[in-house]
Chains A and B, each alone.
Chain A
């Protein structure tokens, strides 16, 4: 089968997908158990797991461009947020008359600002297919334009990373402004339903959870296929010696652009699945810190493995959830310390440790 061919040789990927499948089956069943059953998985946990899965997809997207192409993007959360906003805009329009102000067309925050009509860029978002399209096009287009400008002038290394920071920072400032028409610093929230299903219902939450899992699986397989193809080998060649690759005749800029844009689209999809599960999207998602955190997930799990990114994405966020509940004061210390430790002691991430053990034995 096509899938088995892609996963050939990818032990980690095989293990990961099996576990994912198992979780995707088990969790809804366990959620269906009565509440007093010790194995019951609460709907809250289902949503939390769904959130982790979207983070994992984001991490995979970052690993693709960082681990395999050598581009340390410190602004990928911007693509995540853009996808999230696209979905959010659709969900806002679905609220219709059920909002606080009861306006059939305008979302609450626009009524509050005394706006008379919907800004032009909100048109079309009442259609689900349009929103899905925008989820991919908005981050993709931004990545394409940005990449075209940056890669064409051969900006690399730390300069590129700093500029991606500037990009996400600028977007954050822009989206915080009320005049932009995206809800200002409150963002978009108070969603009611998606495709007719109430967002509060258990069934919908399980559905979203499963959708996140499916998206993660497909995204993983797509990335794995890309990495295994000759294009993936070219990407690694670019990562290692860009000039030499160019010399052989590959259009390095085109390769970077294609993979960067693809990664941005994946991140956008992740964001779009994230928003209905957490119920809100605000400009804070554009914060530079968010993008840097994603990089740490990948570094922690193990760069250039794809399944390492999944491990890091889920693992670090689980730790964050636990820490911020148990010792909120210490979380930032722990996170900062994590950054230092991973870069100093674990250059190949946790996966690297395991690999080293296998090599030694």
Chain B
């Protein structure tokens, strides 16, 4: 972030939230994620079957579906962990994710939070965030890296956003489950991602924690695009966003929560399980 841009944004509290400018990313068409006709099979089992999925820039989208519907596999394809057998997957209108490696995809601004919180247990909360910071990660650079004042501020801001400012010196391994989830979201935010893929954030949380998480995710939308995979229907309802239902590897229904819940196909799939 250059000094000029920083000056510009002085009215904003959360400076770091402004996503970085990524070269080659073209959001002029309004779509940040574009998946078309994607299919992948594992040992004969079709995990993803002619999937079409579009996310608009700045949108908060929920992805639901029964177990085995392919939600995690879909995320794997987006982040480059799995390559589909056919189909296309674009970031913006010009970046072909299928031709990029995992670290490259992570560098251009797609961040993923996994189901199981994987924080660095032996590091403090602060150190976790420091490690996740965006920026060059070469060996020599890292060795000589010193935390600048701006960077320190940034970490403090994220800490406040995720609600862990009082725990910053605590070892991440000692946090509660919900706190670990927030820390992970925080680590994700340190990378200034444009698109966040959040896998089951509400799992294992108390109601208060869930409320806070809804707030957090909602506030992220706009500057970021967020896709949330969830099972907890109350949580999804509270997010009040567009919902996509996945079933057997393809999209079954899409719309607001009410629309989707009254869709007979969806009812059959969920009740018939």
Contacts and interface: CB of A to CB of B under 8 A. Distances in A.
Interface of A: 226, 229-231, 233-234, 236-237, 240-241, 243-251, 254-255, 258
B191 interface: yes
Contacts of B144: 229
B186 to A, nearest CB: 13
Interface stretch (B66-74, B92-100, B117-125): B117-125
Given A248-B191, A249-B137, A231 B142 contact: yes
A237 B137 CA distance: 14
Given A229-B142, A230-B142, 8 more contacts: A226-B143, A233-B127, A233-B130, A237-B131, A240-B122, A245-B120, A247-B103, A254-B139
Given A248-B106, A250-B137, A251-B138, A230 B131 contact: yes
Q: Which 6 residue pairs of A and B lie closest in terms of their CB atoms, listed nearest first?
A: A231-B143, A231-B142, A230-B145, A244-B118, A258-B139, A237-B120
A253 B265 CA distance: 48
B122 A251 contact: no
Given A236-B120, A241-B120, A249 B103 contact: yes
A251 B139 contact: yes
A314 to B, nearest CB: 27
Contacts of B106: 247-249
Interface string B85-107: 00000000000000000110011
Interface of B: 102-103, 106-107, 112, 118, 120-123, 127, 130-132, 137-139, 142-145, 187, 191
B151 to A, nearest CB: 11
28 contacts: A226-B143, A229-B144, A230-B130, A230-B131, A230-B145, A231-B142, A233-B127, A233-B130, A233-B131, A234-B131, A234-B142, A236-B120, A237-B131, A240-B122, A241-B118, A246-B103, A247-B103, A248-B106, A248-B132, A248-B137, A248-B187, A249-B103, A249-B106, A249-B191, A250-B137, A251-B139, A254-B138, A254-B139
Contacts of A251: 103, 137-139
Contacts of B137: 248-251
A240 B127 contact: no
- Max count, chain A CB within 10 A of own CB: residue among B106, B139, B187: B139
B121 A240 contact: yes
A240 B127 CA distance: 14
A243 B79 CA distance: 14
Contacts of B107: 249
Given A229-B143, A230-B145, A236 B122 contact: yes
Contacts of A241: 118, 120
B54 to A, nearest CB: 25
Nearest to B142: A231
Contacts of B122: 236, 240
A246 B138 CA distance: 12
A32 to B, nearest CB: 42
A245 B102 CA distance: 12
Nearest to A250: B137
A202 to B, nearest CB: 41
B115 to A, nearest CB: 13
B139 A255 contact: yes
Nearest to B121: A240
A231 B140 CA distance: 8
Contacts of A250: 137, 142
Residue in B103, B112, B127 with the greatest tally of chain A CB atoms within 10 Å: B103
A340 B273 CA distance: 53
A231 B143 CA distance: 5
B177 to A, nearest CB: 17
Contact of B139 (A231, A237, A244, A245): A231
Contact of A229 (B123, B132, B145): B145
Contacts of A249: 103, 106-107, 137, 191
A258 B121 CA distance: 24
Contacts of A226: 143
B125 to A, nearest CB: 13
Nearest to B124: A233
A248 B118 CA distance: 11
A115 to B, nearest CB: 43
Contact of B143 (A230, A236, A248): A230
Nearest to A256: B139
Contacts of B138: 251, 254
A241 B187 CA distance: 15
A170 B198 CA distance: 49
A285 B118 CA distance: 42
Specify which of B102, B131, B138, B144 lies most central, judged by the most chain A CB atoms within 10 Å of its CB: B131
B148 to A, nearest CB: 12
A250 B138 CA distance: 7
A236 B127 CA distance: 11
B263 to A, nearest CB: 36
Contacts of A231: 139, 142-143, 145
Contacts of A233: 123, 127, 130-131
Contacts of B123: 233, 236-237
Contacts of A246: 102-103
**Most chain A CB neighbours (cut-off 10 Å) among B120, B138, B191:** B120
